[in-house]
């Protein structure tokens, strides 16, 4: 597997990094977390103008025809300054769900406004009993005439409070936890029967609780065939979380290294203490481990073989939990008392990391999934 970036990818990384430092430093998250929306539509539109929102989508949909790796490289840089725009929620989850589920001609109609930054989409898939399993769905869709009516509850819908469209998973047949019978629907959040309640998350972002009571929805693709699509989209989401988490770890490592070099105790810089140097090395090692795993996952995310994709994504997600949690905890501790105050930026990175490790399946979920793959069980 080739981990080297192309010249175009290096240019992309430099461009996004410069944009984030100039247009969206961490202080911007502090300001926007107090607002109702939590991000700025103007900045999202800027990303659309630069082509970042459509980098992994085919040209016929208004994209640039790149790969998910290109998108993950953007997310890594967004993570380094905690850019609050819903790139992961709207583009990775919402955009890919429509791309894979909808008929090509319908996707070609829907995607261009999203990729231009004119709309925000949210994927409503999680339910109270689901625990990370995308097929554990109790929301029901009943066909009436030419359309469908949806009834159920969706939890923690990322960017759902500001979405112009909801992509909702619902059951058109079968029993809960049955992989067959799962479908995806396009729902207008302002339609009758749809109630969207905004909730604040611990990382400064916002989400929504969505209640559906006989709400109208447009079926995307074939009824009952969305379970593998939903699994694939959530794997992309997990790989995206690993990429963003890698950026967070790199930022925390740099921040902690600078603090150790600047902070003086007993007349000397604390970075000269050997015990703290050893801990800094541990931070570097864990950061590189998670980064390598994230790169492997972002490359494998486009693999058409489900087992190869799931193996790499689950391994990276587990590594993010272990390494990411270690780095933000140690980084906070090495900052001393200031590290546990809201005034210092490292606490914002700490909170965002702990959100990312729980999204799209936690360590237990991905460990069990990895262990269930044939390539692993065949050796038992």
Identify the domain boundary among 96, 119, 142: 119
Is 283's pLDDT higher than 90? yes
Residue 238 shares a structural domain with residue 373: yes
From CA 23, how far away is CA 153, in angstroms rounded?
37
Residue 1 lies in a domain: no
At 2, is the pLDDT very low, low, confident or very high (cuts 50, 70, 90)? Answer: low
- pLDDT tens digits, one per residue of 139-153: 999 998 888 999 999
Residue 241 shares a structural domain with residue 220: no
CA distances (Å), origin 259, targets 24, 280, 308? 22, 11, 41
Residue 2 lies in a domain: no
From CA 165, how far away is CA 188, in angstroms rounded?
5
Residue 319 lies in a domain: yes
Is 380's pLDDT higher than 50? no
CATH number of the domain encompassing residue 187 = 2.40.110.10
Mean pLDDT of 42-67: 94
Is 220's pLDDT higher than 70? yes
Residue 110 in tokens: 């829907």
CATH number of the domain encompassing residue 276 = 1.20.140.10
The number of distinct structural domains making up the chain is 3
Which residue segment(s) compose the domain that 126 sits in? 122-224
Is 267's pLDDT higher than 70? yes
Is 114's pLDDT higher than 50? yes
β-strands 121-124, 140-144 pairing: unpaired
Identify the domain boundary among 88, 119, 150: 119
Mean pLDDT of 328-348: 92
Mean pLDDT of 35-40: 95
Residue 329 in tokens: 């905890």
Residue 246 shares a structural domain with residue 352: yes
Residue 269 shares a structural domain with residue 212: no
Residue 58 shares a structural domain with residue 192: no
Residue 242 shares a structural domain with residue 365: yes
Is 168's pLDDT higher than 50? yes
Residue 108 shares a structural domain with residue 130: no
Is 134's pLDDT higher than 90? no
Residue 163 shares a structural domain with residue 254: no
- pLDDT tens digits, one per residue of 183-213: 999 999 999 999 999 999 999 999 999 999 9
Residue 137 shares a structural domain with residue 63: no
């Amino acid at each position: 597997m080739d981990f080297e970036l192309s010249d175009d990818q290096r240019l992309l990384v430099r461009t996004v990094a410069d944009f984030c430092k100039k247009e969206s430093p961490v202080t911007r998250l502090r300001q926007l977390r107090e607002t109702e929306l939590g991000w700025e539509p103007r900045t999202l539109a800027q990303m659309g103008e630069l082509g970042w929102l459509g980098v992994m989508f085919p040209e016929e949909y208004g994209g640039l025809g790149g790969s998910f790796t290109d998108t993950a490289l953007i997310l890594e840089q967004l993570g380094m300054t905690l850019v609050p725009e819903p790139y992961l929620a709207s583009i990775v989850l919402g955009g890919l769900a429509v791309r894979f589920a909808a008929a090509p001609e319908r996707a070609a109609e829907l995607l261009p406004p999203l990729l231009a930054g004119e709309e925000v989409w949210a994927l409503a898939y999680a339910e109270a009993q689901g625990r990370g399993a995308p097929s554990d769905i109790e929301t029901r869709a009943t066909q009436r005439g030419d359309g469908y009516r949806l009834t159920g509850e969706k939890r923690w819908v990322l960017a759902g409070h500001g979405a112009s469209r909801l992509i909702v998973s619902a059951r058109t047949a079968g029993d809960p936890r049955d992989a067959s019978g799962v479908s995806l629907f396009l729902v207008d959040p302002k339609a009758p029967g749809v109630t969207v309640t905004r909730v604040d998350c611990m990382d400064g972002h916002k989400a929504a609780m969505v209640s559906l009571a006989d709400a109208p929805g447009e079926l995307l693709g074939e009824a009952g065939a969305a379970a593998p699509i939903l699994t694939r989209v959530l794997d992309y989401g997990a790989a995206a979380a690993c990429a963003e988490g890698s950026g967070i770890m790199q930022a925390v490592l740099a921040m902690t290294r600078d603090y150790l070099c600047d902070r003086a105790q007993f007349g000397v810089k604390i970075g000269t203490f050997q015990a703290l140097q050893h801990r800094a090395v541990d931070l570097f090692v864990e950061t590189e481990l998670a980064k390598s795993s994230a790169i492997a996952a972002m490359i494998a995310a486009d693999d058409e073989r489900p087992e190869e994709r799931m193996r790499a994504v689950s391994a990276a997600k587990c590594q993010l939990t272990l390494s990411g949690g270690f780095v933000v905890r140690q980084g906070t501790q090495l900052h001393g008392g200031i590290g546990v105050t809201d005034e210092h930026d490292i606490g914002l990175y700490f909170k965002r990391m702990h959100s990312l490790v729980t999204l799209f399946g936690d360590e237990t979920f991905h460990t069990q999934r990895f262990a269930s793959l044939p390539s692993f069980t065949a050796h038992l």
